[in-house]
């Protein structure tokens, strides 16, 4: 899939609207605790500034639900942008109100303006066409660089694109890279290709698993979702997380893997605990010997060894979902061991966003992976084979 490229646009001296994803985590004092999302937008912003553009930046932050709420102001983002860009960043006090319109009318080449939180406008999340038009009227060119929200049909992501033609809209560098990585993965991965799929539930990953099966050579299952598969195989899983209504689907996935010749790996041992807590009593047991009332919260050391063996010869690894409750140190070991192994391998390693990206960053291995997606929900939808609403209108039409 080819999408409209920012490099093909005539940007010189244009007013450019860049939809970014500045939805950064904040601590309890309102300080940005991780500015990676702001940093990853810099190449697109700087590229536009180098072409003497007047730049209008827009993003959401948190969920203010259509109301102005100081808690969600983009002021900390404006300050961080100022430091990173080393130039003034003017923050508007509204989104499409008097202040924004006045400031935009005065905006000159190479100046940067940031609109207030897009979700102060209730039309944003319902893809309101009036809001989309007001946003579109601000600029000559529209750039989407907000991969993290491109799976949402929101006014600044989807609705707005209809007001620009193929010569005046495109994906920014970040969005371009995300789409390229995932489409290569889904269409022409270097083989053998393995998917490591974990996380809490089968339900969250079922569509992705089903779509991945015909494309991969091996699947390694971890996390809470493994127990639905183990239960379906007739194991006693104690008090582990399970989705009884998905037992049949789990069987279908295993049958399909067998039919396609995909090697399907499940944990052979697990770390079980007597309660869901850091101060629980825990022990290693084989998958066959999970005691009643104990819950599996991580993969065990034999599984780590098995998965390493299985991953040894692969050329491409896609990892989506932790192997255990990595937020608690006690149950982070399985994920950490797998992360180190994947990072050290010579394979192309692609990490889905969200929890898996968070875990890889916590361990400090983010630089070692080939690619870490910036969007959890958006990357999952790509794995499910969906076309993201924010990308749909940026696809280059075949002529």
3-state DSSP of 6-31 = HHHCCCCCCEEEEECCCCCCECCCCC
Task: Determine if 204 is a binding residue for ligand AMP (CB under 6 A).
Answer: yes
State how far the Cα of 230 lies from the Cα of 234, in Å rounded to an integer: 7
Residue closest to 322 by CA, chosen among 310, 309, 337, 312: 337
Window 337 to 356, contacts with ligand AMP (CB under 6 A): 355
Cβ 355 to ligand AMP shortest distance, Å: 4
381 binds ligand AMP (CB under 6 A): no
Distance CA 319, CA 307 (A): 13
Q: Which is nearer to ligand AMP, 223 or 389 (CB)?
A: 223
Q: Is 322 in the site for ligand AMP (CB under 6 A)?
A: yes
What is the per-residue DSSP string for 198-230?
-SS-HHHHHHHHHHHTTT-SEEEE-STTHHHHH
For ligand AMP, which residue of 241, 304, 338, 351 counts as binding (CB under 6 A)?
A: 241
Q: Verify binding: residue 178, ligand AMP, rule CB under 6 A.
A: no
Question: H or E stretch including 130?
Answer: helix 129-136
The stretch near ligand AMP (CB under 6 A) out of 5-13, 131-139, 149-157, 198-206 is 198-206
Q: Is 375 a catalytic residue?
A: no
Distance CA 258, CA 236 (A): 23
223 binds ligand AMP (CB under 6 A): yes
114 or 332: CB nearest ligand AMP: 332
- 239: tokens are 């008090």
The one among 64, 172, 238, 321 contacting ligand AMP by CB under 6 A: 321
Residue 201 binds to ligand AMP (criterion: CB under 6 A): yes
Q: Is 305 one of the annotated active-site residues of the chain?
A: no
Taking CB under 6 A as the criterion, the residue among 123, 159, 199, 390 binding ligand AMP is: 199
Instruction: Give min distance, CB of 201 to ligand AMP, in A.
Output: 6
Contact between 79 and ligand AMP by CB under 6 A: the answer reads no
State which of positions 293-312 bind ligand AMP (CB under 6 A): 296-297
Catalytic residue among 123, 354, 375, 376: 354
Closest of 334, 378, 332 to residue 171, by C-alpha = 378
Q: Note whether 150 and 389 are within 8 A (CB).
A: yes
Q: Which of 36, 184, 201, 275 is catalytic?
A: 201
Quick one: how far is CA 314 from the chain centroid?
Answer: 23
Residue with Cβ nearer ligand AMP (204 or 310): 204
Residue 377 among the catalytic residues: yes
Instruction: Output the six-digit token pair for 15.
Output: 């007013």
Question: Distance of CA 127 to CAs 14, 213, 233, 284, Å?
Answer: 25, 34, 45, 50
Between CA 244 and CA 27, with CA 323 as vertex, the angle to 5 degrees is 105
Q: Which residues form the catalytic set?
A: 37, 201, 354, 377
Residues that bind ligand AMP (CB under 6 A): 199-201, 204, 223-224, 241, 296-297, 321-322, 324-325, 327, 355
């Amino acid at each position: 899939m080819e999408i409209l490229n920012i490099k093909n646009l005539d940007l010189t001296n244009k007013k450019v609207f860049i939809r970014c994803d500045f939805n950064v985590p904040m601590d309890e004092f309102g300080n940005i605790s991780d500015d990676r999302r702001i940093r990853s937008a810099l190449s697109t912003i700087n590229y536009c500034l180098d072409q003497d553009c007047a730049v209008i930046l827009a993003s959401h932050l948190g969920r203010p639900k259509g109301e102005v709420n100081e808690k969600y102001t983009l002021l900390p983002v404006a300050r961080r942008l100022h430091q990173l860009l080393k130039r003034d960043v003017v923050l508007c006090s509204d989104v499409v109100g008097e202040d924004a319109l006045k400031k935009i009318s005065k905006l000159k080449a190479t100046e940067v303006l940031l609109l207030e939180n897009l979700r102060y406008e209730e039309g944003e999340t319902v893809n309101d066409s009036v809001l989309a038009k007001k946003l579109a009227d601000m600029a000559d060119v529209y750039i989407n660089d907000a991969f993290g929200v491109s799976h949402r049909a929101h006014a600044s992501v989807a609705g707005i694109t209809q007001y620009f033609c193929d010569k005046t809209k495109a994906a920014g560098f970040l969005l371009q890279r995300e789409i390229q990585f995932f489409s290569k993965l889904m269409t022409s991965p270097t083989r053998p290709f393995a998917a490591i799929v974990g996380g809490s539930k089968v339900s969250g990953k079922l569509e992705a698993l089903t779509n991945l099966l015909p494309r991969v050579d091996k699947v390694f299952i971890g996390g809470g979702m493994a127990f639905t598969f183990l239960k379906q195989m007739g194991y006693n899983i104690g008090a582990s997380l399970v989705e009884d209504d998905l037992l049949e689907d789990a069987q279908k996935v295993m049958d399909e893997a067998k039919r396609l010749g995909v090697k399907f790996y499940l944990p052979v041992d697990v770390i079980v605990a007597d309660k869901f807590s850091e101060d629980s009593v825990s022990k290693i047991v084989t998958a066959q010997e999970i005691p009643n009332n104990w819950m599996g919260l991580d993969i065990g050391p034999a599984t780590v060894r098995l998965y390493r063996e299985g991953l040894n010869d692969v050329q491409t690894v896609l990892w989506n979902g932790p192997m255990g409750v990595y937020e608690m140190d006690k149950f982070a070991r399985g994920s950490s061991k797998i992360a180190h192994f994947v990072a050290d391998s010579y394979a192309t390693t692609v990490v889905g966003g969200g929890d898996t990206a968070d875990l890889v960053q916590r361990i400090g291995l983010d630089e070692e992976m080939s690619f870490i997606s910036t969007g959890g929900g958006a990357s999952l939808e790509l794995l499910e084979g969906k076309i993201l609403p924010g990308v749909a209108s940026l696809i280059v039409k075949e002529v």
